[in-house]
Copies of this chain bind each other. A is one copy, B any other.
Amino acid sequence: MIRIAIADDHKLMSEGIASILQSDAELSVVKICNNGRELIEYLRTDAVDLVLVDLNMPILNGPDTIRIIKNNQIPCKVVVLSMYADENIYAKCRELDINGYLHKDSDAQHLIDTIKCIHNGRNHYDYDHASAAAGPSKLFDDKFVNKFKLSPRELEIITLVSNGLTNNEIADKLFLSVHTVMTHRKNILHKLQVRNTAEMLSLLNS
């Protein structure tokens, strides 16, 4: 029986995953935490075989949680549950010496298979390096191109916006009409499902 703890701030996600895992006879979810601190508290007194850790959590986020686990040499496998196939996030996680890396759009069977695989000592990192040779735009990389399907022109606009240029300045620089720039920005906001530039930029740097 593999004892598992889950840390994710979205209860429906953690309880849903728990429900999936419980359906497998070899797996047992012994703890569900809403953030990293709860997980650390739990691990202080109880041992588990494996933890599933979300990256974005309030109070204590994923990477910091994992660092604490590693620094205290708590003996358990660490698997990251990520929202995005972001190369940078992935790279940071590798530095943290985790045992697995999974996307939240994996399916249930893959999750179960991966957990068993990792429990047996074989680490597993999900990441298709398809866009690894995507060129030098390091700022807005995979997450934006792949997940949000932004066009090259939109990436160009978004870069200038984040540099603080107004629509008029962007239009001058790119030899475009202000209307065109505005249209691009509106399309970007729609694609990212955000309401304004501030939210867009925070999403960009999350």
Q: Which residues of A pack against B, CB within 8 Å?
A: 9-13, 15-20, 23, 34, 55-56, 58-59, 61, 81, 83, 88, 102-108, 111, 134-135, 147, 149, 161-166, 193-202, 204-205
Contacts and interface: CB of A to CB of B under 8 A. Distances in A.
28 contacts: A10-B13, A10-B105, A11-B104, A11-B106, A11-B108, A12-B16, A12-B17, A12-B20, A12-B81, A12-B102, A12-B103, A13-B13, A13-B104, A15-B20, A16-B18, A16-B20, A16-B108, A19-B108, A56-B193, A162-B199, A163-B202, A164-B194, A164-B195, A164-B199, A164-B200, A166-B196, A197-B198, A204-B205
A193 B134 CA distance: 20
A102 to B, nearest CB: 8
Nearest to A205: B205
Contacts of A193: 55-56, 61
B199 A163 contact: yes
